[in-house]
Amino acid sequence: MKNKRPYNFNPGPAILPLEVMQKAQEEFLNFNNTGLSIAESSHRGKDFEGVVQQAQEKIKKILNISDEYNILFLQGGASLQFGMIPMNFLNGKNADYVLTGYWAKQAVKEAKLFGQVNIAASSEDKNFSVIPEKFNFSSDAQYVHLTSNETIHGIQWRKFPDTGNVPLIADMSSDIISRRFDMNKFSMIYAGTQKNMGTSGVTLVILRKDLAGKANPNLTTMLKYQTHIEKNSLYNTPCVIGIYLTNLVLDWVLKQGGLDAVEKMNNEKAAILYDYIDSSNFYYGLTEKTDRSKMNVVYQIKDAAAEEKFISEAKASGFIGLKGHRNLGHIRASIYNAMPLQGVKDLVSFMKDFAKKNG
């Protein structure tokens, strides 16, 4: 595999569009005709401030976000947000969390340190193979938290619940910018950029101004959303190269035709892979058809002993990153925006061939 570019099915950091990587390589020593690398560029310079502004505007355009929201580029990933959200908005009171898998559970664990957590719904009794349908929301909750796509368990919300006057907050790390959704339902969404939006090192936070205004003011400066709102994400030195790459990925999304075109392609890719799994006697899916993820396709071989062989032969054939999460096992194909249709078609061909030889 030393000379061919493999298909990268890693869950994140994940595949990026080849033309984005080529552009970044081409201008790696000369960003914006400054004669410097982006990696050496001051975050206080107008060239980089332009990148931040452009990226913010493109996100607003792609996701159709109104001026009621601030677009922030932070650090620490969703894992730091799991703590920052209750530190800012829970503060000894109560909040509702929907338990849909590994990542929702991580969010719950951190929230419990800062207040009372009500599990408004859970699919743990179904091994997180489905999104719950009924919710026990509290009218006095500070917010409702959900995880739009569970990267490890491979399930994804199709329709988001109506939480009335209670602010809805979502971890969208693994399906941001993969499909259309109504931002007006949410007071805050957040996402590490290392799946659909760039490389790791940047956390996108989109926060409605009225929720931001209610935050706990007694926190260390870096953990207050208000700090980053006031300084437009430049309170301290952000991950400059990460924001730059995100900006290039957003250009690529627009060039594809924006969110609707990207969603159409994602639907097509997921259908090809799931249709084959559904029709196969060799592989089977681990999630309910109604809620299975279009980003992370989790499946198994009926003969579990063949899985290791599958992963290793797939790798040798140029399909990498198919091993499921270390905590769950199985096979997982992460097919984010940048995975080309051909990559999914070729994977299905490989799977058919493997099934024939090992079935």
Active-site residues: which are they? Answer: 103, 171, 195
φ/ψ of 223, rounded to 5, equals: -95, 0
CA atoms within 13 A on the CB side of 115: 25
Between 110 and 307, whose beta carbon lies closer to a copy of itself?
110
Minimum distance from residue 333 beta carbon to a copy of itself (Å): 14
Q: Which is nearer to a copy of itself, 114 or 128 (CB)?
A: 114
Structure-token pair, residue 306: 């063949």
Write out the binding residues for a copy of itself, residues 73-132 only, by CB under 8 A.
75-80, 82-84, 87, 109-110, 113-114
Decide: 176 and 194 in contact? Cβ < 8 Å: no
Quick note: the x/- pattern for a copy of itself over 244-263, rule CB under 8 A, is: -x------------------
| Closest CB 264 distance from a copy of itself, rounded Å | 24
Least separation in angstroms between residue 280's CB and a copy of itself is 27
CB of 279 to a copy of itself, least distance (A): 30
Contact between 220 and a copy of itself per CB under 8 A: yes
Start-to-end CA span in the chain (Å): 26
Told to check if 13 binds a copy of itself by CB under 8 A, we report yes
| Under rule CB under 8 A, residue 28 binds a copy of itself | yes
Q: Which of residues 181-210 bind a copy of itself (CB under 8 A)?
A: 192, 194, 198-202
Pick 13 or 359: Cβ nearer a copy of itself: 13
Residues 265-284 close enough to bind a copy of itself by CB under 8 A: none
Quick one: tokens of 172? 């969208």
Count of alpha carbons within 13 angstroms of residue 289, beta-carbon side: 6
Q: Does 343 bind a copy of itself (CB under 8 A)?
A: no
43 token code pair: 């975050």
Whether the ω angle into residue 13 lies within 30 degrees of 0, i.e. cis, is yes
Name residue 283's beta-bridge partners. Answer: 301
- Verify binding: residue 147, a copy of itself, rule CB under 8 A: no
Is 311 a binding residue for a copy of itself by CB under 8 A? The answer is no
Contacts of 111 (CB under 8 A, 6+ apart): 82, 85, 86, 90, 95, 97, 117, 145
Backbone φ/ψ region at 101: left (φ over 0), alpha (ψ -120 to 50), beta: left
By beta-carbon proximity to a copy of itself, the closer residue of 326 and 356 is 326
